[in-house]
Every structure is written in C-alpha cells, then in structure tokens.
Amino acid sequence: MATHEADVAVVGAGLAGLTAARRLAAAGRSVVVLEARDRVGGRTLNEAIGDGKVVEVGGQWVGPTQTRILALIDELGLETFPTHTEGANLFERRGRIRRYRGTIPKLNPVALVETGAVIARINRMARRLDPEAPWAAKRSGRWDSQTFATWLRRNVRTRTARDLMRVAIWAVWAVEPEDLSLLHVLFYIRSAGSFEALLDTEGGAQESRVLGGTQLISLRMADELGEAVIRAAPVHRIDHAAEAVTVHHGARALRARRAIVAISPTLAGRIAYDPPLPAVRDGLTQRLAQGSVVKCMALYPQPFWREQGLSGQTTSADGPVSVTFDNSPPDGSPGVLLAFLEGGAARAASALPEDERRGLVLGCLRRFFGDRAASPDRYLDRAWPNEQWSRGCYGGFLPPGAWREHGAALRAPIGSLHWAGAETATVWNGYMDGAVSSGERAASAVLAELGRP
C-alpha cells in the first residue's frame, strides 16, 4: 500500500477543513487535506454564467456578526456587496400574493402582533441556553422532549402566524417543523444571536454577497495549500491511536499524528473507524441528519421585476418554491432569480428529472413575477440531497432527545481525532461563519496538543 505522511490529516476541503489546514500550515505543521470530490469548497459552489460572472448554487450569504468568515474574506483579498433589496417583497399564502417591506409580511394585525410576540418569546428562551452546552439548560429536558411543531401548535393561535413560522423554518433549517427538536431550534437561534439575525436580509444572515462567488474563498485557500490538497480522495477508514492516525483513501494511506474530520456528522459516521468510536458518538451520527434544499436559478436578460417595483424577494407558504431572491450580479446583468425548494418540497423535487424541477420552479416564479418569469434564457439547479458528498443542506439538525443524550459528542475529540465543520460550531452553527470558526478551533486544539515546531 502506498503511504504518505504529514503532521495532520484533514478530511474534507470545505471551509472548515481548509481553514484548519491553513492555520496548521501557517504554524509550521505539515498537513494533507483529503477531499472526496474533484473540487474544493464543499457546500459552496460557483457556476459560470458567462462574461466571467458566476452564480452560487451553494452557500452564498454573509452578514453582520459573522466575524470569522468576514475576516477570512478580507484576508484573502475578496470583497462583499449588498444583496439586492430595493423594492417591495412578496408574500404568498392560500393563493393570495401581497406586497410588503422588511422581514415580516403585512398580515392581519392580530397575526402580525402574534408573530412578533412568538419570535420575541423564542428569542428569550434561546438566550437562556449556553450554545456550548444546550443540554445543560435548566429547561432542556422539556425543550428536547418536543418537536418544534408541537411547540408551535401549543403556542401560536392564528393560522396566518403558523403558516409564517413554517416558511421561516423552511428558510432557516430546510426541514419541516416536526423534524426539529425545540431545543435544536433554540440552540441554533442562540448560536446566531436571534431569530431575526437568521431571517433578515438587511442586518441579518442574507445581508451581503461575495464578489466572484463564495467558492473563491475555498479556491484561494486551496491555492495557498497547493499540493497539500488532494482531490478525488474519499476517505473510507481511519485507524487511530493516541498519537497516530492512518487515514485510508482509495489504495493509499496517509499517516499523521492527528486527524481533523471536517465533514458533516452524518457523512463522518459513514467512515469506518478502527477502533470503533464510542457509542455516544456513533449514536450522534445515527441521529444528526441533513436538511433538504434544492437551489434553483433562472437567468433573464434583465432583472425585469425591478421595473415593477419588486425586490425579487418572495416568501410563499403555498410552495413548492418557498423563498426567492434577486440574485443578479452587482451590475444587474443578467437578471437572476434565485428560488429555493426546502424540506419536504426539496425531497420530492430531488427525485424528479431536472426538466420537471424546472417546470415546477418556473411555474412558481410565473405566479410571483408574471409571464416573463416563465421563459428564462437559462435555468440551472442543484439538488443537494442527491449530492453524494453532502447528502443535504443547508446544515444538520437534531430530532428530539438527541441533544441531551448525544450532544456532548458533537465536538469532543476522541484521542487523536478532532471534529470540525459548520455543524460543530457554537456561533453561527450551520453557516459558512460557523464552518470557519470550527476549523480555527480544531486547528488550535491540535496545535495545543502537538506544540509549535
């Protein structure tokens, strides 16, 4: 068997793995990054649309308080620009489309007041937990014993507010309310700061975009690392001892002193470990599933909706497209409408051939933006549940019971094995910012163990 060596083996060349590798290399440690795909960037992915422009079929937004990803963007010489928000947003519910401005659609006053009160209440609950240890919160037993659907059913009275909350769940977690532990919802909100921080465009997680596309962040880091990044190298087994790991990929074996596994927990659970991992860790990866997203883009000669006073942002409780955005390049050419299928709708659509998905999505865009939306110059999409090396987006989530029983295994190193990835972050869990901070944390832990050379 062909073997090679490094101080540290990193599994996964997404933002977490590359950030960790870069830190380790900067500290003088030799590192090899093994990436299953033939490209880097994980859940970020640029697609060229001509004239040197790109759209992102993976993660794309950054926002305030996302200090780690913003610092990295800056360090790599990249720039951000604001998400297009000018104009009125649309809200569709029970066959009716309304215009509104801001985050929460103009609903009937009772529903509007209730939605505000419910969000405030959730924020208050979220503030009562420590994102480092959500299972230790005083009320964690109660919160982790119920689904978010149960909580909504008990605590939200108007159907309008419930519909609105369901779209919010699609938009943030890409699952259905019944999939989520209430404790997971609270943890996730706590890790981002507030529910509004997750939902908002201006002032929130959708505020800005990266010039040239977010995959550039990973591409630049991989360029720096050069031959230390090995593509098309899926890892199938890791042998580990206190001070040594052997990471098997194809017919090769990488020997190192530490490994940082920087892929989603559900995929990390598919690697064979020798010796096998403790039950509490194995049980975690049995339970932590990925959300379901299909990200779709329709390209037009111009962003024609802007002429109609529309921002391109839509929230639909009717679906199957739940959320849209104006995703045009900064100069507005071409005009790009971004449409998300999320949760159950994404799962159903992932099973369809692309042309049927196209029909489904364009049908929704036509409802929202009129006949011109039905005939784009180009349509493209990415069904993330079908992607072998992601198996879902945006991130992972835990069902009831799992945080309390298995949460402590999410980040805890096991001998020479360390864990990174957006799912392991305590700040902006599930986001690019969380991926970066998780890579930094894992690199620091490994450096502390190995010492600086």
Nearer to a copy of itself, 306 or 391 (CB): 391
Among residues 39, 99, 106, 153, the one that binds a copy of itself under rule CB under 8 A: 153
The nearer residue to a copy of itself, 41 or 177, going by C-beta atoms, is: 177
Stretch that binds a copy of itself, among 106-114, 191-199, 205-213, 270-278 (CB under 8 A): 270-278
Q: Which stretch binds a copy of itself (CB under 8 A): 139-147, 155-163, 328-336, 361-369?
A: 139-147
Of 141 and 332, which has the nearer Cβ to a copy of itself? 141
Site string for a copy of itself, 357-386 (x = CB under 8 A): --------------------------x-xx
Residue 155 engages a copy of itself in binding (rule: CB under 8 A) = no
Residue 193 or 269 with smaller CB distance to a copy of itself: 269
Among 128, 139, 236, 378, binds a copy of itself (CB under 8 A): 236
Q: Which of 172, 219, 228, 289 binds a copy of itself (CB under 8 A)?
A: 289
Q: Which tokens is 217 given?
A: 């962040």
Task: State the number of binding residues for a copy of itself (CB under 8 A).
Answer: 46
Taking CB under 8 A as the criterion, the residue among 72, 175, 189, 341 binding a copy of itself is 175
Between 26 and 272, CB nearer to a copy of itself:
272
283 binding a copy of itself? (CB under 8 A): yes
Among 272, 301, 308, 375, binds a copy of itself (CB under 8 A): 272
Q: Does 158 bind a copy of itself (CB under 8 A)?
A: no
Contact 239, 245 (CB under 8 A): yes
Paired strand residues for 50: 53
Applying CB under 8 A, the residues found at the interface with a copy of itself are 144-147, 149-150, 153, 175-179, 234, 236, 266, 269-270, 272, 276, 278-280, 282-283, 286-290, 292, 344, 347, 350-351, 383, 385-386, 388, 391-392, 399-402, 404-405
